[in-house]
């Protein structure tokens, strides 16, 4: 069962007060991806930008950028007709706009490569990549379709994510 967004936001708000990054990863805990930006809005990012997790893990995005709203949105035709860059059998997600300190969670049971973006900042290269289990699972990998240049350059490679497990923003 997937919790409603409202429920997730309540949980996120409660947990945020004690948030310390980096946190140790426990199997039962969500893995957190921070949404950040410079005060003047000149740079925006997901951190980590690349992540390898086991199937069934929950990912939680948290907007820690006091000056901007962000989204965590799967590359999928159902999301603004963007190209499919998640496994074919996987459910697409779209957090909608997260205000500062809001959060959004999804659980990813299907193995493969998931690329996601921030709706207002895709052109600024605000994208990220999650690998669940094996990247070459039959469910597929990212399609080689045209994205904004800065977005394409921002994805860590599959090899790098598999080797290091987590890729912090540089
Ligand atoms: Cu953004």
In the chain, the domains with their CATH numbers are 5-167 (2.60.40.420)
What is the distance in A from the centroid of ligand 1 to the CA of 138?
31
pLDDT, tens digit only, all 170 positions of the chain: 454 554 444 444 444 444 444 544 555 689 999 999 998 878 999 999 999 999 999 999 999 999 899 999 999 999 999 999 999 999 999 999 999 999 999 999 999 999 999 999 999 999 999 999 999 755 444 555 679 999 999 999 999 999 999 999 87
Alpha-carbon span 64 to 69, nearest angstrom: 10
Return the pLDDT at 86.
95
What is the distance in A from the centroid of ligand 1 to the CA of 45?
7
What is the distance in A from the centroid of ligand 1 to the CA of 88?
25
What is the distance in A from the centroid of ligand 1 to the CA of 115?
15
**Sheet with strand 50-53: strands edge to edge:** 73-74, 112-117, 127-132, 50-53, 166-167
CA of 147: how far to CAs of 72, 80, 124, 128, in Å? 16, 13, 11, 13
């Amino acid at each position: 069962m997937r919790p409603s967004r409202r429920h997730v936001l309540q949980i996120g708000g409660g947990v945020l007060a004690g948030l310390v990054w980096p946190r140790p990863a426990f199997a039962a805990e969500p893995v957190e991806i921070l949404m950040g930006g410079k005060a003047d809005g000149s740079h925006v990012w997901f951190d980590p930008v690349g992540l390898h997790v086991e199937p069934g893990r929950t990912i939680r995005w948290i907007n820690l950028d006091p000056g901007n709203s962000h989204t965590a949105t799967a590359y999928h035709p159902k999301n603004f007709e963007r190209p499919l860059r998640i496994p074919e059998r996987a459910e697409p997600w779209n957090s909608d706009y997260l205000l500062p300190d809001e959060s959004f969670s999804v659980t990813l049971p299907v193995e493969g490569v998931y690329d996601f973006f921030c709706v207002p900042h895709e052109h600024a290269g605000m994208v990220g990549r999650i690998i669940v289990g094996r990247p070459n699972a039959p469910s597929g990998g990212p399609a080689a379709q045209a994205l904004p240049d800065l977005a394409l350059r921002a994805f860590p490679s599959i090899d790098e994510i598999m080797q290091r497990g987590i890729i912090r923003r540089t």
